[in-house]
Amino acid sequence: MTGRGGWIGLLYLTPALLFVGAFVLYPLGQLVYLSLTSSSLLGGSEFIGLRNYIRAFTDQTFWHSLQFTIKYTVYITPILMGLGYLLALLTAGTGAIARFTRAVVFLPVVIGLGSSSLLWFWLFDQQVGLFNKLLQDLHIVSQPVVWFVDADVGLWAVIISVVWKVVGFGMILFVAAIQSVSPEINEAALIDGAGYWQRVRKVTLPLTYRTILLTTLISAIGSMLAFDQFYIMTSGGPKSETFTSVYWMYQNSFIYFKLGYGATLSIILMAIVFIAAAVQIALTRRGAVR
């Protein structure tokens, strides 16, 4: 920072630095401090050092919830990305039908996740749910499925609902990326005799690679922080098998009133998500260089 220009630059940055300091760094510092205390929602707090962290490492429900969250992320991310990309390929055109389809697929994105989860919870209901009625009418099942009685079946019910809600977001980003591919490149490939899928594989996919990775990163982080859909649709059941990490933090902080321990769990999850995101960004860079 030498000369007048440096100070002026810093001056321009000040609002952003103040904002980040007040709304990111200060709360983060508070969270770290909270994680080192026995703070209770009902009052009372004592500095207990790393005791919460030691406890977290033996908290089986937390590790199970983390494992379940990773499983959910691993299942849903490829579905969201694959389906989103296919829909983007279908609707990337500028025709009226393509634009209409884009709007229809994107519509659920603007609905709150809580609302959509509640909607799907009742759609899956074994007695009045339309989803079971559809499956029965199509003779796929003979009896209504009780979706949330089994952790795996419940997980797929949640995945179906979230895919419906979120797939339009990825699609819109992919559409933007696909539309930014120069038409000349596609025309050249066409002249060279490349078929549609060849052009998708050899031209469109490589040129939209960075967008795919960025969208995957955003989607994976979102899935790792899943809460609303499980809170509403499975309530963590059966037998606590569908608790996600954030749900377990919520339980500890606001149901068991253990704010300090809840803060500890969130620091641990934040570190895990941070490392996973850093790895993914590093891979993105390697891919871009290649």
Residue numbers at the binding site for other proteins (CB under 8 A): 40-44, 61, 121, 125-127, 146-149, 154, 235-240, 243, 251, 254-257
Q: In the complex with other proteins, which residue's Cβ is closer, 150 or 205?
A: 150
Q: In the complex with other proteins, which residue's Cβ is closer, 121 or 174?
A: 121
**Residue keyed to tokens 């982080």:** 221
CA dihedral 159, 238, 140, 130 (to 10 degrees): -70
**Residue keyed to tokens 């990163």:** 217
CB 200 within 8 A of CB 89: yes
Q: In the complex with other proteins, which residue's Cβ is closer, 78 or 238?
A: 238
Q: In the complex with other proteins, which residue's Cβ is closer, 94 or 127?
A: 127
Environment class of 163 (CB within 10 Å of its CB; exposed 0-12, middle 13-18, buried 19+):
middle
Task: Give the shortest CB-108-to-other proteins separation in angstroms.
Answer: 22
Task: Give the shortest CB-239-to-other proteins separation in angstroms.
Answer: 6
Neighbours of 233 (CB within 10 A): 21
Q: Which tokens sit at 72?
A: 């959910």
Task: Give the shortest CB-225-to-other proteins separation in angstroms.
Answer: 19
Task: Give the shortest CB-123-to-other proteins separation in angstroms.
Answer: 13
What gap in Å lies between CA 139 and CA 123, rounded to an integer? 18
Task: Give the shortest CB-14-to-other proteins separation in angstroms.
Answer: 21
Q: In the complex with other proteins, which residue's Cβ is closer, 108 or 154?
A: 154
Task: Give the shortest CB-245-to-other proteins separation in angstroms.
Answer: 13
Task: Give the shortest CB-147-to-other proteins separation in angstroms.
Answer: 7
CB 139 within 8 A of CB 125: no
Q: Which tokens sit at 48?
A: 């207990």
- Per 3-state DSSP, the chain is made up of helix, strand and coil in percentages (nearest 5) of 75, 0, 20
Q: In the complex with other proteins, which residue's Cβ is closer, 169 or 250?
A: 250
Phi, psi dihedral angles at 215 (to 5 degrees): -65, -40
Environment class of 273 (CB within 10 Å of its CB; exposed 0-12, middle 13-18, buried 19+):
middle
Q: In the complex with other proteins, which residue's Cβ is closer, 17 or 128?
A: 128
What gap in Å lies between CA 128 and CA 17, rounded to an integer? 53
